[in-house]
Amino acid sequence: MIITLLTDFGLSDAYAGVMKGVILNICPDAGVVDLTHGIPPQDREQAAFVLKSAYAYFPEGTIHVAVVDPGVGTGRAALVVRTRDFLFVAPDDGVLKYVFEAHPEARVFRADRPEFLLPDPSATFHGRDIFAPLAGHLALGIHPEALGDPFPDFERGRILRPVIRAGEIRGAILYFDRFGNAVTNLDRLLLEGVSVRAIHAGGLTLGGVLRTYADVPAGEPVAYIGSAGTLEIGVNMGDARARYGLKAGDGVVVGLG
């Protein structure tokens, strides 16, 4: 059974490794994949989008664990979610919002039965004491229904939608990847079959959507459809965030004409 881990723990501390140890103690045959531990601290928006862009590439039955958990130690629920093809384990804080959008058939459980958790869970490390044990037991074949009761009042999360107006589409920068490329919420489907006159983000103006970085000279900005299927803004051989002072949440306006 494959288990993926997505966290904001980084790799300089032992947090991610300890989660793997807990999983393997419960299910030694599990294959644990580090999806990423590089989410910026508490950045649930980036975590949700990265999970959205990655989970479907794994084999059917994969267990995806997402722990970006500013509410650790509070009364927020621990969720186990079953969709047609996957299982998800995460705090009830909106990090699964794109999963819920894509899978209205999802069954959601509040996983709080102590026999499936580590004894005396810490108030600050639920990744180790709650989410990793849940994933380990799921990998053993324990059904989600055994881990807790159905939970209809889960946090669906707010999805930032583009706004379409006469002559323009307004979106926003969601986050930046490691290369400084700005990832937006403007889906490629919104831009298919339309004539893009200009793209404005911060103080930057671009003339249209190109195919890839090398369509402009080195050091020049470029707008393109990224591998996750949304509009991105980058710099060929450079860093758009650093060069143009762009920030997550900045508006992106696509002028049509």
At 237 the pLDDT is 98
Quick one: pLDDT band at residue 251, thresholds 50, 70, 90? very high
Quick one: pLDDT band at residue 83, thresholds 50, 70, 90? very high
Q: Give the mean model confidence (pLDDT) for residues 194-201.
A: 95
- Where exactly does CATH 2.40.30.90 map onto the chain? 163-256
CATH of the structural domain 163-256, one choice from 3.40.50.970, 2.40.30.90, 3.40.50.11390, 3.30.559.10: 2.40.30.90
pLDDT of residue 90 exceeding 90, the answer is yes
At 257 the pLDDT is 83
At 193 the pLDDT is 85
* Summary mean pLDDT of the chain: 97
pLDDT digits (tens, 9 = 90+) for 159-189: 999 999 989 999 999 999 999 999 999 999 9
Query: What share of the chain in percent tops pLDDT 90?
Result: 98
Quick one: pLDDT band at residue 98, thresholds 50, 70, 90? very high
Q: Is the pTM of this model over 0.85?
A: yes
Amino acid identity at 6: L
- Where exactly does CATH 3.40.50.10790 map onto the chain? 2-150
pLDDT digits (tens, 9 = 90+) for 19-44: 999 999 999 999 999 999 999 999 99
At 3 the pLDDT is 99
Q: What is the DSSP string of the chain?
A: -EEEEEES--SSSSHHHHHHHHHHHH-TT-EEEEEES-SPTT-HHHHHHHHHHHGGGSPTTPEEEEE--TTTTSSPPEEEEE-SS-EEEEESSSTTHHHHHH-TT-EEEEE--GGGS-SS--SS-HIIIIIHHHHHHHHHT--HHHHEEE-TT---------EEETTEEEEEEEEE-TT-PEEEEEEHHHHTTS-EEEEEETTEEE-SEESSGGGS-TT-EEEEE-TTSEEEEEETTB-HHHHHT--TT-EEEEEE-
**How far is the C-alpha of 28 from the C-alpha of 26, rounded, in Å?**
6
pLDDT of residue 91 exceeding 90, the answer is yes
pLDDT digits (tens, 9 = 90+) for 132-165: 999 999 999 999 999 999 999 999 999 999 999 9
Tell the CATH topology of 2-150: Rossmann fold (3.40.50)
